Amino acid sequence: MNYKEILDRVMAVVKPEENIGHLANYIPELGKVNPNKLGVHLSTTNNFDLGIGDNLEKFSIQSISKVFAVCLAYKTMGEGIWKRVDVEPSGNPFNSLVQLEADKGIPRNPFINAGAIVICDILISHLEKPKEAFLNFVREISDNPELTFCQKIADSEKSVGYRNIALCNFIKSLGNIENEPEEVLDFYFCLCSLEMTCQELSKAFLFLANGGQKVSDKKVILTKRQTKRINALMQTCGFYDESGEFAFEVGLPGKSGVGGGIVAVFPNNYSIAVWSPMLNAKGNSYKGMMFLEQFTTETEASIF
Ligand code: DON
């Protein structure tokens, strides 16, 4: 497969397309990002590594961090985490509260905000220094000891975080948060504020395309079974109420963030990260979805 030719060809089509959508300006700092950025990076399980456009520029990964959080919780606690958070698509927006009362405080999955907040609570209960442990985990899977949170973005989100504050308090009232909501939310806003490039993201996700084992140093991060399950969750829940559409158009497990990033994984083949900050109505990158749809069309390969 000539990936370079395909990336070039898809870029030539997607770049000049009209950039429709909106920035995630409900987080003030994210409203300041240049909307026309477009970067892509591909990392393969046989050590091929290639980027195009703004692939080396850092951006706010936001909800993509939820994959790192659930991987760390799964690694630390094993199957017990599924008692606290379910594995069903929610069919609702990422920040929705509506299902929680009927579901007795058990979020539908770890990728909606409610689920990620519960995962943060689990990490706080089981790790001595959760922020440090989380950063060390992400640094390890991406072979990059310099990755860090962006306090400015975390503070910006916290200053307007009414919805997440409500979610956390509501789940606490239903008995599924052990720690103080303020501590849980502080951790949640921090992990959403992580900044990475497309290159760093595709490298960090590569172990999920490689049965749970890092390609660079062969270190086992998750078991094969755990890896299958995380990929299944990304497939069914990674794009909120647009997860069906992403499976339909792209056909790969993936995860988006309101910073405009999307990472997708093709088991036994590659991971690919795309960044374009303008979001569609469901909060997923407009051109990111378009790029990946054309990429899997051109490569004629998906998990289906
Ligand atoms: O909690 C929030 O609203 C953001 N920190 C993350 C949301 C997000 O990225 C949803 N993704 N598409």
Tokens standing for residue 152: 């400015």
Contact 303, 251 (CB under 8 A): yes
Q: Is 164 annotated as a binding residue?
A: yes
Encode pLDDT of 75-84 as tens digits.
999 999 999 9
Atom of ligand 1 nearest to the CA of 283: 12
CB 284 within 8 A of CB 234: no
Cβ pair 229, 197 in contact under 8 A: no
Catalytic option among 66, 158, 172, 214: 66
How far apart are the C-alpha atoms of 238 and 110, rounded to whole Å? 9
Q: Scanning the structure block, which residue is given the tokens 């898809």?
A: 10
Per-residue pLDDT in tens (0 to 9) along the chain, 304 residues = 899 999 999 999 999 999 999 999 999 999 999 999 999 999 999 999 999 999 999 999 999 999 999 999 999 999 999 999 999 999 999 999 999 999 999 999 999 999 999 999 999 999 999 999 999 999 999 999 999 999 999 999 999 999 999 999 999 999 999 999 999 999 999 999 999 999 999 999 999 999 999 999 999 999 999 999 999 999 999 999 999 999 999 999 999 999 999 999 999 999 999 999 999 999 999 999 999 999 999 999 999 9
Contact yes or no for 196/135 (Cβ under 8 A): no
Catalytic option among 74, 240, 270, 286: 240
| 13 vs 53: CA distance, rounded Å | 13
Task: Read off the pLDDT of residues 124-151 as tens digits, 9 standing for 90 and up.
Answer: 999 999 999 999 999 999 999 999 999 9
Please list, in sequence order, all residues whose beta carbon lies within 8 angstroms of the beta carbon of residue 174, skipping any fewer than 6 positions away: 100, 101, 104, 105
Catalytic residue among 258, 263, 265, 274: 258
Say what the pLDDT of residue 288 is: 98
Q: Is the CB of 63 under 6 A from ligand 1?
A: yes
The residues pairing with 39 across neighbouring beta strands, listed in sequence order, are: 53, 275
Q: What are phi and psi of 267, to 5 degrees?
A: -50, 135
pLDDT of residue 1: 86
Residue 62 confidence (pLDDT)? 98
Examine the residue annotation and report whether 125 is marked as an active-site residue of this protein: no
Tokens of 24: 């995630």
| Closest protein CA for atom 3 of ligand 1 | 95
Q: What is the SS3 assignment for 282? A: coil
- The response to whether residue 260 sits with its C-beta less than 6 Å from ligand 1 reads no
Tokens 């140093």 belong to 217
Specify whether the backbone of 22 is left (phi greater than 0), alpha (psi in -120 to 50) or beta. Answer: beta
Predicted ipTM of the assembly: 0.97
CB 260 within 8 A of CB 288: yes
Nearest CA to ligand 1 atom 1: 113
Place of tokens 């990002």: 33
Q: Nearest residue CA, atom 4 of ligand 1?
A: 62
Structure tokens at 219: 């270190």
pLDDT recorded at residue 289: 97
- Nearest-atom number in ligand 1 for the CA of 63 is 9
Query: How far is the CA of 153 from the CAs of 159, 161, 244, 266, in angstroms?
Result: 10, 12, 30, 31
The C-alpha atoms of residue 273 and residue 55 are separated, in whole angstroms, by 8
Q: CA-based angle 276:110:228, to the nearest 5?
A: 85
The verdict on whether residue 63 carries a ligand-binding annotation is yes
Domain annotation for the chain: domains and CATH numbers = 3-62+196-299 (3.40.710.10), 63-192 (3.40.710.10)
